[in-house]
Amino acid sequence: MAKLESYTPTPGARAGRIVLTVLPFVMGLACVLLSFVPVGRIFGTAVMPAFGLMAIYYWAVVRPEMFPVYAAFLVGLLSDLLSGGPIGLWAFAYVLTYIIVLTQRFLAMNAPFSVFWFGFLLAAIFAGFVGWGAASLFYGAFLPIGPIAWHLFVTVALFPLFALIFGRIERRILPSG
């Protein structure tokens, strides 16, 4: 998380500052919870996007100082605990993806949105491949590609909407970095 200033005028202001500092992480956790709400059943499908991955990618590119690597780990761990799958699977995939994105963030930082979106497509494919490989190793069998491909497709397709929401929050609420 970002370092707090040593002095703020009032305790209330300081508390507000803390809330704003942890806001990206809280949004990451909220995204994981959202991905378990059966919204897809409104449209007759059980496929839900990886909202947590969207949050990790966005904040890793835009504000990495407010979304450190252990935030990505905890987001992945919560996803594992709620999913009923192997514990550590998404934590591993998300942390690895976060590290890769962090090293390449300068490519997408001030680029047009299409480049930013394409970067997310690559990050999603990478995370999906890592997750699929780890799960296949864990279960000792090649898992079918179809469900993960469909999952990633929905995730990438919905990313612009969430990037818009994250951008609004970042510009309006969070202090300029």
Partner 1 sequence: MLTLAAALLLLGRAETYVFDQARQIVTDMTAPLLEIASRPVAAARRVVERTDEYAYVFDENERLRAENARLLAWKEAALKLESKLARYEALLNVQIDPTIKYVSGRVVSDNGGPFVDTVIVNVGRAAGAKSGDGVIDTDGLVGRIVATGEKASRILLLTDLNSRIPVVVEPAHYKAVLAGDNTDWPKLEYLTSLSSVSPGDRVVTSGDGGLLPPGIPVGLVIQTSDGFLRVQTFADRDRLDFVRILKYEFPTQVDRQDPPAALLGPPVEPKPVERVKPAATIPGAPKPATPALADAAPAPATPAKPARVVKKPETKPAPQPQVLPPDSAPSAATMQPVPDAEEQVPPPEEDVVPGTQDTPGTE
Task: Enumerate binding residues for partner 1 (CB under 8 A).
Answer: 33-46, 48, 50, 69-70, 72-73, 76-79, 81-92, 95-96, 99, 128, 131-132, 134-135, 138-139, 141, 143-144, 146-148, 150-151
* C-alpha–C-alpha distance, residues 145 and 166, integer Å: 30
CB nearer to partner 1: pick between 122 and 143:
143
DSSP 8-state class, residue 3: P
Token pair for residue 159?
A: 């990313």
Q: By three-state DSSP, how is residue 49 classified?
A: coil
CB nearer to partner 1: pick between 23 and 77:
77
Amino acid (1-letter code) at residue 165: I
CB of 1 to partner 1, least distance (A): 15
CB of 128 to partner 1, least distance (A): 8
* C-alpha–C-alpha distance, residues 117 and 120, integer Å: 5
CB of 157 to partner 1, least distance (A): 15
Token pair for residue 86?
A: 């192997």
